[in-house]
Amino acid sequence: MDLPLSEAVRAEFAHTTTYLNTATCCVLPRSAVAEVRALAEAAGAGLPAGSGDFDRVNRARDSFARLVGVPSGRVAVGSTVAGHVGLVSASLPAGAEVLCPEGDFASVINPFVVRADLKVRFAPLEAMAEAVGPDTALVALSAVQSSDGRTADLAAVRAAAAAHRARVLVDATQAAGWMPFDASPYAYTVTAGFKWLLGSRGVSYLTVSPEAQEDLTPLHAGWAAAGAPADATYGPMSRPADGARRFDESPAFLAYHAAAPSLELLERIGVAAVHAHDTALAARYRTGLARIGHEPVPGESPIVSVPGLADRQPALQSAGIAVAARAGSLRASFHLYNTEADVDRLLDVLAG
């Protein structure tokens, strides 16, 4: 049974600020903080447990897989989105065309741009499906734009890519955790775990379709990516792991010890309940902005940006309200630990 959201917030969150900045970094649940503290204390005491637990890593992998609707065998773990995208970039042949949205997050774009032998083409987010052409090998885009919360028409992009036999890579960093997101139709998805998934920096997930697994080379392979890690500490591994685990990076254990309880909390609450809560707060904020004479970027996501107000961020921070300044806009983002009172306080300060 899903856990009531209000009960989860009371039990798990202890922040004292008006924190409206999940699109930058989340508030860690108490259970995640406790796991990090326990591992750090064990490491500081020189105990065997201080070296980290692969079972926690696999718990996080399994939870993430359930949240995005794929088998665990399609999920590789790592530490950064750019690292995952770089792996995909390295798999493309010279001359391949990659289509990206204008102004998308740098980690989605730069691993392709730095390869001088690839053709990287850009199009407006709203015109991505129309921009896919016969020469397009890969479409790489974010499901939700970090800068302003605009959402991509992923169904249209998928259809256009399929018509031209192009693969699709989706960055779900600003979607997974609040938006019901199905990773299964895509060759690749990449997701950082320190935003809507309630984890810390050092956690990221790569999903790879069975077909794409055959074409992707595990360039980051260390002993953790071996089929039998215990026997692969020294010398070449006898075989890589099955499925996407061959693309694993050696995990940052402090981060993954935090990720496991955080993802399990999201599973107990249910993404549908988080989606309803987060988008309702964003709608309240958008309505309030209109009332005080400000026009946000249109949309329904819990990321709300107001062009021209970036200079208000320092004063809001001084008032104990955490928001971000991005691309000349003031960006607020609302998650399960936020309340209507948080929204109203932000509006009151903006109204002066």
- For 61-90, write each residue's pLDDT tens digit: 999 999 999 999 999 999 999 999 999 999
Mean pLDDT score, 288-310: 97
Q: Within a domain: residue 291? A: yes
The residue behind tokens 């981060």 is 255
- Contacts of 228 by beta carbon, 8 Å cutoff, 6+ apart: 237, 238, 239
Query: What is the identity of the amino acid at 284?
Result: R
Residue 62 burial (CB < 10 Å; 0-12/13-18/19+)? middle
**Residue 278 sits in which domain range?**
5-30+270-351
Q: Within a domain: residue 38? A: no
How do beta strands 329-333 and 324-326 pair?
antiparallel
Give yes or no for a contact between 329 and 148, defined as CB atoms under 8 angstroms apart. Answer: yes
pLDDT in tens, 155-191: 999 999 999 999 999 999 999 999 999 999 999 999 9
Task: Examine the fold and report which residue of 268, 299, 333 is the final residue of a domain before the chain moves on.
Answer: 268
Task: Examine the fold and report which residue of 220, 253, 268 is the final residue of a domain before the chain moves on.
Answer: 268
Q: Do 263 and 274 belong together in one domain?
A: no
pLDDT in tens, 228-237: 888 888 999 9
Q: Do 263 and 282 belong together in one domain?
A: no
Q: Do 261 and 274 belong together in one domain?
A: no
Q: Report pTM.
A: 0.96
Mean pLDDT score, 10-36: 96
C-alpha triplet 50, 56, 62: angle, nearest 5° = 165
pLDDT at 1 over 50: no
Q: Within a domain: residue 339? A: yes
Q: Do 174 and 289 belong together in one domain?
A: no
Q: State whether residue 22 is helix, strand or coil.
A: coil
Q: Within a domain: residue 262? A: yes
Q: Within a domain: residue 37? A: no
Task: Examine the fold and report which residue of 228, 245, 268 is the final residue of a domain before the chain moves on.
Answer: 268
Q: Do 78 and 184 belong together in one domain?
A: yes
Beta strands in 91-179 (DSSP E): 97-101, 119-123, 136-142, 167-171
For every residue of 215-235, DSSP letters joined together read T---TT--GGGBSSGGG-SSS
Q: Do 126 and 257 belong together in one domain?
A: yes
Q: Do 227 and 143 belong together in one domain?
A: yes
Q: Do 208 and 327 belong together in one domain?
A: no
Q: Do 264 and 276 belong together in one domain?
A: no
Q: Do 93 and 239 belong together in one domain?
A: yes
d(CA 246, CA 204): 15
Mean pLDDT score, 24-36: 98
CATH of the domain at 317: 3.90.1150.10
**Which pair of structure tokens corresponds to residue 110?**
């730069």
Q: Do 143 and 275 belong together in one domain?
A: no
Q: Within a domain: residue 214? A: yes
Domain total of the chain = 2
CATH of the domain at 58: 3.40.640.10
Q: Do 102 and 132 belong together in one domain?
A: yes
Torsion of the alpha carbons at 325, 312, 339 and 352, rounded to the nearest 10: -170
Residue 234 burial (CB < 10 Å; 0-12/13-18/19+)? exposed
Q: Within a domain: residue 35? A: no
